[in-house]
Amino acid sequence: MERMLLPSLMCVSPRDLEDTLRLFEKNGIPALHVDVMDGHFVPNLQIGTAYCQALREMTSLPLDYHLMVEDPARMLEWFPIKEGDWVSVHAEADRHLARTLARIRELGAHPMVALNPATPLCMAEEVFSAVDGVLLMTVNPGFAGQTLVPSTIGKICRLRAMLDEEGFGDVRIETDGNVSEQNLLRMRNSGADMVVIGTSGFLGTRDLGEMEAGIQRFQSLVWPESDAPESAAGPLKERTERNARIRREKAEAEEKRRAAAASAPEEETEE
């Protein structure tokens, strides 16, 4: 499973956007993180539909939408969501989460559920089968430049273990907030494979030369020489096969349970 560095466009000045997009394309950035904020779910307004449409005209890179909005289902059709994009909606903001995730998949995108730092993992557990990833906020959402919430590192570990144990090891974990070089290593080692980069990372400068050097440095941390994609192919295949086996065994056990319940004699009641 390829680990992904996702630059947050809220940290890129509009004056620099065109040149910065070319730099991302040149250096193999796989997707662009787009923070959408409504001023209600979070105390900030960011990145609207016109901006996203302009991005479509400026680059072919997939978009990683993070909808920090109330009732996200009503906004899905407003954005130019395309096949191959990623779309995260918050469990805290959606009354009909499963329905919204299903609609995202119908649009051709990868559905993801997002959780704030203080939101327990159980809020996402019932939709593991409906998502391609879980986005864990490692700061409270709304603003760049915040400090990591320390408990979120353990939360990443617990989520990775939970996903693997329940047969969803192919579900990705994305982290968003204060991804410095040091924190990137902690997140990677805890099980994250998609990381959002902002001002704590290579977007802390407007100088394109410094930014490019930062991209390459972060890429070396995401894929250290001893952990390159080629060497990860074997373990990834094994984990995928194991997860498929776990899901199959659970489905067979549930089918047997239902069959046994259906064939059980009904108890006679005395009149």
User: What is the predicted pLDDT for the residue at 238?
Assistant: 56
The pairing of beta strand 45-46 with beta strand 63-68: unpaired
As a three-state string, the secondary structure of the chain is CCCEEEEEHHHCCHHHHHHHHHHHHHCCCCCEEEEEEECCCCCCEECCHHHHHHHHHHCCCCEEEEEECCCHHHHHHHCCCCCCCEEEEEHHHCCCHHHHHHHHHHCCCEEEEEECCCCCCHHHHCCHHHCCEEEEECCCCCCCCCCCCCHHHHHHHHHHHHHHHCCCCCCEEEEECCCCHHHHHHHHHHCCCEEEECCCCCCCCCCHHHHHHHHHHHHHHHCCHHHCHHHHHHHHHHHHHHHHHHHHHHHHHHHHHHHHHHHCCCCCCCC
What is the total residue count of the chain?
271
Residues sharing a CB contact under 8 Å with residue 224, sequence separation 6 or more, in sequence order: none
Average pLDDT, the chain: 88
User: What is the predicted pLDDT for the residue at 271?
Assistant: 52
| Distance in angstroms between the alpha carbons of the first and the last residue of the chain | 63
User: What is the predicted pLDDT for the residue at 227?
Assistant: 54
Confidence of residue 263 (pLDDT cuts 50, 70, 90): confident
The pairing of beta strand 32-38 with beta strand 45-46: antiparallel
Domain extent listing, the chain: 4-227, 229-263
User: What is the predicted pLDDT for the residue at 251?
Assistant: 73
Write the pLDDT tens digit of every residue in 157-211.
Answer: 999 999 999 999 999 999 998 999 999 999 999 999 999 999 999 999 999 999 9
Residues sharing a CB contact under 8 Å with residue 219, sequence separation 6 or more, in sequence order: 5, 27, 28
Confidence of residue 120 (pLDDT cuts 50, 70, 90): very high
Place domain 4-227 in its CATH homologous superfamily.
Aldolase class I (3.20.20.70)
Q: In angstroms, rounded to a whole number, what is the distance separating the alpha carbons of residues 215 and 171?
A: 25
Q: Is 197 exposed, middle or buried (0-12, 13-18, 19+ CB in 10 A)?
A: buried
Write the pLDDT tens digit of every residue in 43-96.
Answer: 777 888 999 999 999 999 999 999 999 999 999 999 999 999 999 999 999 999
Write the pLDDT tens digit of every residue in 99-118.
Answer: 999 999 999 999 999 999 99
Catalytic center residues: 35, 176
